C-alpha cells in the first residue's frame, strides 16, 4: 500500500479492504491498521524523547503561547506532504494570526507547531529509512535553497547522502521496535538537528537517490524483509533458484 497523501476517506476505505485481505492470509506492507493509526506528524507524540518541543492543537491562543515560549516556530497542517503549507513564524510576526487562523480553520481543525530547529539550514532535513525496524546504512539530507525554509525535494531542496551517526541509530533504536511490532516494514524518519519531526509511513522516499550515490540496493533489503515474513514464499523462491542452477 503506497500512496502519497492526502490521507482522506478513500485512503481509509482502502485500508479496510486490505485489512480484510490480511485476515485471509495476505501480507500487506505496510500494515493497514498501522497506516490508519500512525498519522505521520501526530505519531511522533508516542516518542517525546526523540522530538523537539511540539504542540498539536486547535487553539490559536495556545499556538501564540507556544510561539512566545520558543521565539521561532514551524506551523504546518497534519495532512500535508512535500513541504506544502509549511510556515516559519518568529515572535512579533504580524502574519501569525492569519497563519494560525488558516491552519486551524478558525479553531475548528487540528494543526501542529514545532520549535524551529536552525540545523535545517546547515545539515538539512535528513530522511532516515527504517526497514523492518532496522536503519538503512545511509540517510538522505535534504538541504533547503537559500530562498526557502523547506527541506523537501519537492520544494527544491538539494539531496545529499550521508552515513548514519550515533544519534540516528539511537532514534531508530527507540522507534524501530514499535514499527516492526505493528507491521510497518518501510518507514522514513525525518530528522533535523538530531530530532524526529515526522514518521513517514505512507510513501517514504529517498531510496533512488541513496542507491545512486552509494551503489546500494535498498529496495532489495525491503524485499528481503518481506520474504522473511513469508517463509513459505522464501523457500519456494530458493527452490526455484536451485532449479534454475544447472549444477543442482
Decide if 198 is catalytic.
yes
Catalytic residue among 40, 125, 142, 152: 142
**Integer Cα distance of 89 and 114 in angstroms:** 10
Decide if 236 is catalytic.
no
Catalytic residue among 40, 125, 168, 190: 190
Decide if 134 is catalytic.
no
Give the DSSP H/E element, type plus range, for residue 228.
Answer: helix 218-229
Catalytic residue among 39, 76, 115, 168: 76
Q: Which of 197, 131, 121, 194 is nearest to 157 (CA)?
A: 121
**Integer Cα distance of 52 and 179 in angstroms:** 20
Q: What does the block give as the cell for 235?
A: 523457500
Decide if 94 is catalytic.
no
**Integer Cα distance of 125 and 139 in angstroms:** 10
Q: Which of 234, 195, 211 is nearest to 74 (CA)?
A: 195
Catalytic residue among 30, 127, 132, 152: 127
The answer to whether the beta carbons of residues 228 and 132 sit under 8 Å apart is yes
Decide if 142 is catalytic.
yes
**Integer Cα distance of 27 and 22 in angstroms:** 6
Decide if 76 is catalytic.
yes
Decide if 127 is catalytic.
yes
Catalytic residue among 30, 39, 40, 41: 41
Catalytic residue among 31, 132, 150, 168: 150
The answer to whether the beta carbons of residues 2 and 201 sit under 8 Å apart is no
Decide if 31 is catalytic.
no
Cite the active site residues. Answer: 41, 76, 127, 142, 150, 190, 198, 200
Amino acid at each position: 500500500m503506497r500512496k502519497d497523501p492526502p490521507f482522506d476517506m478513500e485512503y481509509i476505505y482502502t485500508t479496510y479492504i486490505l485489512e480484510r485481505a490480511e485476515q485471509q492470509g495476505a501480507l500487506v506492507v505496510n500494515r493497514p491498521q498501522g497506516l490508519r493509526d500512525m498519522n505521520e506528524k501526530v505519531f511522533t507524540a508516542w516518542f517525546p524523547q526523540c522530538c523537539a518541543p511540539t504542540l498539536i492543537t486547535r487553539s490559536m491562543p495556545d499556538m501564540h503561547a507556544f510561539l512566545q515560549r520558543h521565539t521561532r516556530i514551524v506551523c504546518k497542517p497534519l495532512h500535508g506532504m512535500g513541504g506544502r503549507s509549511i510556515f516559519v513564524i518568529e515572535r512579533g510576526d504580524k502574519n501569525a494570526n492569519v497563519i494560525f487562523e488558516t491552519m486551524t480553520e478558525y479553531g475548528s481543525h487540528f494543526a501542529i507547531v514545532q520549535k524551529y530547529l536552525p540545523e535545517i539550514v546547515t545539515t538539512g532535513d535528513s530522511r532516515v529509512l527504517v526497514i523492518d525496524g532496522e536503519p538503512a546504512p545511509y540517510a538522505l539530507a535534504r538541504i533547503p535553497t537559500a530562498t526557502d525554509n523547506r527541506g523537501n525535494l519537492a520544494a527544491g531542496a538539494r539531496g545529499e547522502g550521508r552515513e548514519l551517526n550515533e544519534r540516528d541509530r539511537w532514534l531508530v533504536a527507540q522507534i524501530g521496535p514499535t514499527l516492526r511490532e505493528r507491521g510497518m516494514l518501510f518507514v522514513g524518519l525525518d530528522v533535523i538537528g538530531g530530532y524526529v519531526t515526522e514518521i513517514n509511513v505512507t510513501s517514504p522516499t529517498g531510496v533512488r537517490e541513496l542507491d545512486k550515490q552509494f551503489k546500494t540496493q535498498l529496495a532489495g533489503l525491503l524485499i528481503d524483509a518481506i520474504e522473511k515474513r513469508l517463509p513459505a514464499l522464501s523457500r519456494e523462491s530458493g527452490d526455484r533458484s536451485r532449479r534454475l542452477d544447472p549444477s543442482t
